[in-house]
C-alpha cells in the first residue's frame, strides 16, 4: 500500500505535505478537511477579522493553484471518522475510505467547553474556526455588553477587538493574573494596565458560577454572591483540548494529545501526527509539552513531512508565539516557567521592552513588547544555548550578534 493521507488541512497538515513534496516525495497525497474553507490563516480571526479589517477571502492561505502545483488532492467538507490500522485505511464521513501507506494526523485542537449552568444558552460563543468567527463577528455588531470568560490569549484578543469596536467589555479570570501559564507576572501586569486603559473591566480571581438567561438567551453572568454582570454576549476562552479522539480510538499512544517523537512519529511507525493535537518531549521545556502556536504546527509539520519523504530532520525549534492586542505586539520565545532571575531591555513605561528570563544562570526565554529586533536575537541566542549577562541585556548599545560570532557579517543597515 502506498500514498500519504493527511487528516486536517491547516498549518501542520499543509506544511507537512509541502515539505514532503519539496523533499521529493512522489506518491499520491490526499488531504481531508472537515471545514468547507480553503486553508486559511487562523490568528487574524480574533484580531483583524473581528475588527472588520480583513474578510474571509483575505485570510485564504493556500488556493487551488497551490494544490495543483504540488499535485495534492484536497477533500473539503469531509470528516475522517475512524482509522483502521490493520487495513491501513481511513473511513470518511461520506462513507468512502482512503487507504494509506503513511498517515498524518493534523487535527488541531478545539475550545474547552464551559460546564456551568446556562452554558448552552443562545449568546454563549467560542472562537476557534472561521465559522465561529463569522458568527461572533455578526453577534458582536448587535451586542452592547460583552462578558469574556478567561484571561488567556483568545480572551484578551477578543477583549481588545470588542473594546476597539466600542463595546462595553468585562473580562473575568479565575486566576490571580492574566496569561498565567504563558508569561511572567511583569508582563501580566503590563497587559492588565493596557486593557484597563482601553476601558476593559478586568476582574481577576473571579469565578463564573452560572450564566443566566431569558427566553433561551443570555442576560447575565453570575459570579456568586459578589456580582452579577449584565451580558448579551458571552465569549468563552478557557483553553484548548487536543483533537485526539480518532487517535485514541485507534489505540495510538495518547496523553492529553497524541504522543510523538522528534520526527513527529506516533507509536505506530506508519502514522505521524503534528501541530496542536500532539504532545512531545521538548528540550526547551525539559519535559512533555503540548503547544498551540503557528510556529510549532509548521515546524513539527515540516519534521513530519521530511520524515515521510525519508529525509528525517528532527524538530528542535525554539517555541515561539505572538499576540496582537490594540497597537501592541507581544512576542514570546522559549519557556519562561520556573525562571529565577530576569533582566529588562528597553523601557516598560514606554511599552517597548523585552524581559530576558534566566533559570540556574542560563537564558530560558524572552518576552518582548514591540521589540521585534530583540525577539529575533533571542531566538538565535536560545537556539544556540547562548546566555548574555543581565548587564549586557540592560545595555542598549550591546549587540547580541557579538555573542553569536555574527558581528562582522555584512548587514547594510
Partner 1 sequence: MHVKFVQPDGAAAALAMESGASVMITAVRNGIRGIDGECGGCLDCATCHVYVEESQYGNIPAPTADELELLGTITGLRRPNSRLSCQIKAPLAIDTLVVHIPESQA
Binding residues vs ligand FAD (CB under 6 A): 7-8, 10-13, 32-35, 42-43, 45-46, 79-80, 106-109, 127-128, 154, 243, 246, 275-276, 292-295, 297, 321-323
Question: Which partner in partner 1, ligand FAD, none is near 33 (CB below 5 to 8 A by kind)?
Answer: ligand FAD
Measured between alpha carbons, how far is residue 171 from residues 3, 139, 152, 204, 360 in Å? 48, 17, 10, 8, 36
294 touches partner 1 by CB under 8 A: yes
**Residue 19 binding result from ligand FAD, partner 1, none, given CB thresholds of 5 to 8 Å by partner type:** none
Q: Is 45 in the site for partner 1 (CB under 8 A)?
A: no
Residue 70 binding partner 1, by CB under 8 A: yes
70: CB partners within 8 A, 6+ apart: 17, 18, 21, 22, 29
CA 134/CA 50 separation, integer angstroms: 8
* Closest CB to partner 1 among residues 56, 256: 56
Closest to ligand FAD by CB, 223 vs 333, is: 333
For residues 100 and 80, what is the distance between their CA atoms, to the nearest angstrom? 13
Nearer to ligand FAD, 206 or 292 (CB): 292
Does position 334 interact with partner 1 (CB under 8 A)? The reply is no
- Grid cell locating 391: 548587564
Q: How many residues bind partner 1 (CB under 8 A)?
A: 35
Q: How far is the CB of 300 from ligand FAD (least distance, A)?
A: 8
**How many angstroms separate the first and last alpha carbons of the chain?**
54
> Can you tell me the distance from the alpha carbon of 264 to that of 151, in angstroms, rounded to the nearest whole number?
31
Q: Which of 10, 62, 156, 158 binds partner 1 (CB under 8 A)?
A: 62
User: Is the Cβ–Cβ distance between 343 and 336 less than 8 Å?
Assistant: no
Q: Alpha-carbon distance 98 to 305, whole Å?
A: 19
26 scored as a contact of partner 1 (CB under 8 A): no
Nearer to partner 1, 229 or 303 (CB): 303
User: How far is CA 316 from each of CA 9, 122, 232, 261, 383, rounded to the nearest angstrom?
Assistant: 23, 44, 45, 11, 8
Residue 66: partners with Cβ closer than 8 Å, 6 or more residues away: none
The Cβ of residue 343 has, within 10 Å, a number of other Cβ atoms equal to: 19
Residue 65 found at the interface with partner 1 (CB under 8 A): yes
- Say how far residue 303 (Cα) sits from the centre of its chain: 18
Residue nearer to ligand FAD on the CB measure, 42 or 167: 42
Residues that bind partner 1 (CB under 8 A): 18, 22, 41, 43-44, 54, 57-58, 60-63, 65-67, 69-70, 294-295, 298, 320, 322, 324, 329, 331, 372-373, 375-377, 406, 410-413
Amino acid at each position: 500500500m502506498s500514498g500519504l493521507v493527511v487528516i486536517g488541512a491547516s498549518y501542520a497538515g499543509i506544511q507537512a505535505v509541502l515539505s514532503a513534496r519539496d523533499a521529493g516525495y512522489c506518491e499520491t497525497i490526499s488531504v481531508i478537511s472537515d471545514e468547507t474553507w480553503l486553508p486559511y490563516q487562523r490568528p487574524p480571526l480574533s484580531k483583524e477579522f473581528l475588527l472588520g479589517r480583513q474578510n474571509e477571502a483575505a485570510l485564504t492561505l493556500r488556493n487551488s493553484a497551490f494544490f495543483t502545483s504540488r499535485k495534492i488532492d484536497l477533500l473539503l467538507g469531509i470528516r475522517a471518522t475512524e482509522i483502521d490500522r490493520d487495513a491501513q485505511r481511513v473511513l470518511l464521513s461520506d462513507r468512502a475510505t482512503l487507504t494509506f501507506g503513511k498517515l498524518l494526523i493534523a487535527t488541531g485542537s478545539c475550545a474547552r467547553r464551559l460546564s456551568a449552568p446556562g452554558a448552552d444558552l443562545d449568546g454563549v460563543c467560542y472562537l476557534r474556526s472561521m465559522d465561529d468567527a463569522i458568527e461572533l463577528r455578526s453577534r458582536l455588531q448587535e451586542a452592547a455588553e460583552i462578558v469574556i470568560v478567561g484571561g488567556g490569549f483568545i480572551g484578551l484578543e477578543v477583549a481588545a477587538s470588542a473594546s476597539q469596536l466600542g463595546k462595553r467589555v468585562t473580562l473575568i479570570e479565575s486566576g490571580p493574573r492574566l496569561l498565567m501559564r504563558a508569561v511572567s507576572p511583569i508582563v501580566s501586569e503590563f497587559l492588565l494596565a493596557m486593557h484597563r486603559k482601553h476601558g476593559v473591566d478586568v476582574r481577576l480571581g473571579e469565578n463564573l458560577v452560572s450564566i443566566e438567561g431569558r427566553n433561551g438567551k443570555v442576560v447575565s453572568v453570575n459570579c456568586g454572591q459578589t456580582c452579577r454582570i449584565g451580558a448579551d454576549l458571552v465569549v468563552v476562552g478557557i483553553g484548548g483540548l487536543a483533537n485526539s479522539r480518532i487517535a485514541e480510538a485507534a489505540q495510538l499512544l495518547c496523553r492529553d494529545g497524541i504522543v510523538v517523537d522528534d520526527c513527529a512519529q506516533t507509536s505506530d511507525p506508519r502514522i505521524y501526527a503534528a501541530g496542536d493535537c500532539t504532545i512531545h518531549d521538548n528540550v526547551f521545556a525539559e519535559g512533555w509539552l503540548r503547544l498551540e502556536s503557528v510556529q510549532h504546527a509548521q515546524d513539527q509539520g515540516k519534521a513530519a513531512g521530511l520524515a515521510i519523504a525519508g529525509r528525517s530532520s528532527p524538530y528542535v525549534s525554539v517555541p515561539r508565539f505572538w499576540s496582537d492586542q490594540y497597537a501592541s505586539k507581544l512576542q514570546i520565545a522559549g519557556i519562561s516557567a520556573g525562571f529565577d532571575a530576569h533582566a529588562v531591555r528597553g523601557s516598560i513605561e514606554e511599552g517597548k521592552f523585552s524581559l530576558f528570563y534566566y533559570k540556574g544562570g542560563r537564558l530560558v526565554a524572552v518576552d518582548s513588547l514591540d521589540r521585534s529586533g530583540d525577539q529575533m536575537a533571542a531566538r538565535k541566542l536560545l537556539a544556540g544555548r547562548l546566555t548574555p549577562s543581565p548587564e549586557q541585556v540592560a545595555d542598549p548599545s550591546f549587540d547580541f550578534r557579538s555573542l553569536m560570532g555574527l558581528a562582522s557579517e555584512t548587514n547594510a543597515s
